[in-house]
Structure 1
């Protein structure tokens, strides 16, 4: 499915949900300061977002608001949907968010939450006989373009003295990578679970993981983005959304089995497999996020702005974006108010 098709699917799903809600006559009126509808874009990533979705916490916390969940395959698709005006809040990796905040996209959204810091759940995997990243010269490599793995693939090639012109690079979504791998069309792919786990089951070996690249300065994360207009019009609803995400992080830390059970159900996995994937990510509480190390505060931008700026500089050097925005642009894109509010409660 192309990004345009995904955006159209999201639009159709939202429209159908509105029609059904209108026909049932059962919807409550939204509370003061709450939207009539909240359109959320999520991905099949084992973090707190799936816990919130599975348990229906947001529906309970905003009973008068229709919550519309739409699944996306990558952050590039999320950016396309935002540009089409189809989303209010969504999950996207730090690299696609960096692209979204840069020219030519220049999407009017902000970052109110960090879903997870990416570790070994994303990796560059290769077929037998390819032992080093440098061995990929002249080989066929797949990655979802405009994703965190695309950014990390470029970084890994750069470290090995290669560029994207030195490999046959294919832009494939995760499910298409799995199909191409089964056909024997690929030598390597940089992708995330659950497809990464399927490649391992078929004999693929990791050349480098995102966690290893992060230790060398190439930090990536799965971020939440919210339309600036939505954040300004519905700050209470946004804070409620953050509160439920923080609740999910607490469950992941204090009752891991319950959290894993919810994630496993959403991903159609066995709990043991879901638990293994959960362990490869770092989850941060609202208190931790509202600190200098991450989102910062209303008065002092956090370190995340610097990571996004570094990502932008690298992408600009590689010709992936027009130019890297100023540091102030990334600082202004951080929206820590919800995390601050939840941390104080």
Structure 2
């Protein structure tokens, strides 16, 4: 895509607005509980960031803005509202985003993807959970079982790819049923289903709430996933400066949460009801996903793969070219307006960096594959530790001091994603050093290779044997 030259839109926008003052609608559909979209919705709305950037000069002089925010629990109703002409913008994942583009195009109101909000080039964010006391330890154990998932969601695509990777027939080897997360949660607790696959944040939220355990992360499918923003194409062409204003608000929301992730995780929690400890899992440094506005090749591929998978499901037909429905001119213009280097961001695949000192030694943390973190109740900032064993020593001290812990985080040694520590498996080597893993078999494979011992969270909390010190 070439860079956006806003002047090319000036004439049409001027004619649209007319010579007299006018009210211009900016209607935005959000998914607040899909917390990785917070910088494109909840934070902008709550902090009134959009109003800071909406233009008021030139052809927009005298314009009154009617900013409307509408919250939904999934992408499908946002698409319905856009088809009905009631929304101009909408945030959703790759699968529902493709459905949006297909539906709005059929309705004669085609939408386009303008930016990424958050995602993972490996697939983290989607996941599969089972009841806490289930004997299931991996996807392989779910053959012949009932797995629920919100149909046509990005998690549905992840599940189908995961099933295919097992060599299973999705119509014969597993029983896949449709269930929204608000239905799946009680169903898991009542043992009416053996497993549930879902998108952000439910594969982490349900385990955090204590009634489920994560046994599969989307990163295992190595299939990129994203949530992003769509806008009606005609609206964007008519009011490009408004689209750029929205994206500048997104940039500022990202900058704010980068600087103070705990503070804004608390705000997201107040708005969504999703606990701040889970919000931090996504938005804090070294988080589960990367907040990234740029259209990396992997994200373009995710959009195309979504269509191809939906076509295999007979849920859509025809031809689809992801590059034709992704328009990066607006986000490039927003970067330029904020003096940011889009090309540098496009090349940057790093997680939000952790710049911190070990809470025990005070030394700067330089290696991150074994980082652990503790969020102590009553403390505004998360404590950082260079290793899990240092963090476990701190946990023991906190217990002696009767200081409750809100959350304990570790980094998966294989994938680098942030995990809830009490859900993780650990491998303890002969020197007593701990490495964390999402799955028991991952920990066992690493332990076999390095002469280590596999322990669960309770075992990891116990001091290492003297021979291992």
Is contact 2:119–2:125 with CA below 8 Å preserved after alignment? Answer: no
Aligned to 1:52: 44
| CA pair 137-270 structure 1, distance change in 2 beyond 3 A | closer
Q: State the Cα distance separating 1:106 from its structure 2 match.
A: 4.3
Which among 149, 152, 155 is matched to residue 155 of structure 2? 149
Are residue 223 (structure 1) and residue 228 (structure 2) matched?
yes
| CA pair 321-33 structure 1, distance change in 2 beyond 3 A | farther
Unaligned runs of 5+ in 2: 1-16, 57-63, 338-469
| CA pair 309-33 structure 1, distance change in 2 beyond 3 A | farther
Deviations 1:242-294 (A, max 9, x none): 10001111122233334323322222344333212322221125xxx2xxx52
Are residue 206 (structure 1) and residue 210 (structure 2) matched?
no
Q: Structure 1 residues 146-155 or 310-319, which shifts more?
A: 310-319
Q: Distance in 1 between matches of 2:274 and 2:198?
A: 18
Deviations 1:49-79 (A, max 9, x none): 2221221212444493122111111122322
Q: Distance in 2 between matches of 1:281 and 1:106?
A: 33
Q: State the Cα distance separating 1:173 from its structure 2 match.
A: 1.7
Aligned to 1:309: 304
TM-score (normalizing by structure 2): 0.58
Is contact 1:74–1:144 with CA below 8 Å preserved after alignment? Answer: no
Is contact 1:95–1:147 with CA below 8 Å preserved after alignment? Answer: yes
| CA pair 148-117 structure 1, distance change in 2 beyond 3 A | same
| CA pair 258-33 structure 1, distance change in 2 beyond 3 A | farther
Deviations 1:163-214 (A, max 9, x none): 331322222222122232233211111113444344313442223212332x
Q: Distance in 1 between matches of 2:263 and 2:47?
A: 10
Q: Distance in 1 between matches of 2:113 and 2:153?
A: 16
Q: Distance in 2 between matches of 1:30 and 1:247?
A: 31
Deviations 1:222-259 (A, max 9, x none): 01010112112211111100100011111222333343
Aligned to 1:282: 290
Give secondary structure in 2 for the equivalent of 1:70: strand
1:1-345 superposed matches below 5 A: 36-43=24-31, 44-46=33-35, 47-49=38-40, 50-62=42-54, 64-102=64-102, 106=106, 108-118=110-120, 120-127=124-131, 128-166=134-172, 167-200=174-207, 201-213=209-221, 216=222, 218-278=223-283, 279-285=287-293, 289=294, 294=296, 304-323=299-318, 325-327=319-321, 330-345=322-337
Deviations 1:314-344 (A, max 9, x none): 3323434324x243xx212112122111221
Unaligned runs of 5+ in 1: 1-28, 295-301
Q: Distance in 2 between matches of 1:30 and 1:57?
A: 27
Give secondary structure in 1 for the equivalent of 2:306: helix
Which one has more relative contact order, counting CA pairs under 8 Å at least 6 apart? 1
Q: State the Cα distance separating 1:97 from its structure 2 match.
A: 1.5
Give secondary structure in 1 for the equivalent of 2:316: coil
How many aligned residue pairs are there? 298
| CA pair 241-103 structure 1, distance change in 2 beyond 3 A | closer
Q: Distance in 2 between matches of 1:143 and 1:74?
A: 13
Return the index of the structure with the highest Cα Rg: 2
Structure with bigger helix share is 1
Deviations 1:111-166 (A, max 9, x none): 11111014543211123122332332332211111111011111111111223313
Aligned to 2:462: none
Q: Structure 1 residues 69-78 or 269-278, which shifts more?
A: 269-278
Q: Distance in 2 between matches of 1:206 and 1:273?
A: 14
| CA pair 112-169 structure 1, distance change in 2 beyond 3 A | same
Q: Distance in 1 between matches of 2:157 and 2:164?
A: 11
Q: Distance in 2 between matches of 1:159 and 1:165?
A: 15
Give secondary structure in 2 for the equivalent of 1:319: coil
Q: Distance in 2 between matches of 1:219 and 1:148?
A: 10
